[in-house]
Amino acid sequence: MIKDLAAREDGPVRVSGWVEKVRDQRYVQFVVLRDESGAVQLVNGGVLREADPENPRSDILLARTTTIAELSHGSFITVTGELQHNERVKLGGVEIQIDTIDVVTQALPETPIAKDSSIDHRLDWRFLDLRRPEQNLVFRIQTTFLHALRQVWIDRDFIEVQTPKLMASASESRAELFEVDYFEGKAYLAQSPQFFKQMAQAAGFGGIFEVGPAFRADPSFTSRHATEFTSVDAELSWIDSHEDVMELHEELIVAGLTAVKEKHGEQIQKLFGIEIEVPERPFPRIPLAEAKEIVKAEGYEVPRADDDMDPEGERRIAAHVKKKYGHDFVFLTDYASSIRPFYHMRHEGDESLTKSYDLIYNGTEISTGAQREHRIDVLEAQAREKGMDPAELGFYLDFFRYGVPPHGGFGMGLARVLMLMLQQSSIREVTYLFRGPTRLLP
């Protein structure tokens, strides 16, 4: 691998990769070669432009010169040569003097995204777009982030589960569900593993987690919405309130960002020009009603009449928290029961508020969490209040007829976290293959 060259001694070496750049000068040729680990400069000092009968290596040199001159961007080649350390070489301090070159696959002369680099066009040719070092780094960061989260869960003795994505009935409502044919009947693509996470609490699993796909039939075209996305979910038993869920959430976020900063901080600074900030615990916590008053006092009144916070309100309260506490995260708590699902537990003495939260990161909501209602009579009443028929929730409500501990959890959008962490303009930039209302390819 190219990343290993700097640690090797000078001598024979063999590398493969994609041609990133060719500089064909009169007496010397340079090729920048990239694999998934980095880039290296190749040098052909034996340039020969026409046959020389007096040179016994004339045919070899001429063929090599011609091959290099005809290389197109993106061609995949294998090269053998002499590795040489050279401090003057900016690209890693090493270069390779070419001996042989084998063109494994020759790319077409011009890539489709060479002249049109708009996001939609790049997504049409995503495999080419992903060759960029920035994109390679995004998914290394994602891997490191998720590994760190898994380590926290495993250290806490959590169990990883994989819940089904085909459901017989809606988990909350059918408003944002994809309906699919299923043999002689209908099924729905899961918009959340919520019910199945809670089943694990009834089964005595205690803490569980899942990283998997979720589906929302939401025709939104914003920078933070997708019809299929990766959801990071956790659920745990034996909690006293949603505060226990927030504490777990904090621990996970800090572990993930710490791992990313330690492993990729230098590359992130180089390719994205930003510093990863690891937040201190505890994260600020502000009741939603208070947050709305704060942004109103600072000149913005949330226009929604449904007791929620709109995107501009999220940006405003995040700016307030950053200024006052120097923090990129804030928990907005105590959402109104009118806008929360029927399974969110409500406050004792105030049925209008739920024991729930949204986590805001750099001005955008990335997660919703709550303590769940575990009392069957209360669950049924709250479902009816929401206009739902308990009979259609039979399999779910059965969980609570045989003893369930107090529990809670959260669901978090992975792409949103990456987008905000790397200060990208859209989740499309940090999703491997994006799915939206008008995109099903590639």
Strand partners, 231: 212, 413
Q: Is the dihedral of CA 369, 375, 376, 377 positive or negative?
A: negative
- 413 labelled as ligand-binding? yes
Bond preceding residue 133 cis, omega within 30 of 0? no
Residue 166 CB coordination number (10 Å): 10
Largest Cα–Cα separation, the chain = 99
Q: Six-digit token pair at 173?
A: 């409502």
Instruction: Centre a 10 Å sphere on the Cβ of residue 34 and count the other Cβ atoms it contains.
Output: 20
The answer for residues whose C-beta is within 8 angstroms of residue 112's C-beta and 6 or more apart is: 121, 124, 125, 128
Residue 368 assigned ligand-binding role? yes
180: left (phi over 0), alpha (psi -120 to 50) or beta: beta
Q: Partners of 30 in the beta sheet? A: 23, 43
Is 140 assigned a ligand-binding role in the annotation?
no
> Annotation-wise, does 23 bind a ligand?
no
DSSP for 210-277 reads EEEEEE------STT--SEEEEEEEEEES-SSHHHHHHHHHHHHHHHHHHHHHHHHHHHHHHH--PPP
- Calculate the CA dihedral of residues 289, 295, 299, 302 and round it to 10 degrees: -60
Distance CA 187, CA 415 (A): 26
- Is residue 416 part of an annotated ligand binding site? yes
* Distance from the first to the final alpha carbon of the chain: 29
414 is in an annotated binding site: yes
415 annotated to bind ligand: yes
d(CA 205, CA 198): 10
Point out the annotated binding site for L-aspartate.
172, 216, 368, 372
Residues making up the binding site for ATP: 365, 413-416
Known binding-site positions:
172, 216, 365, 368, 372, 413-416
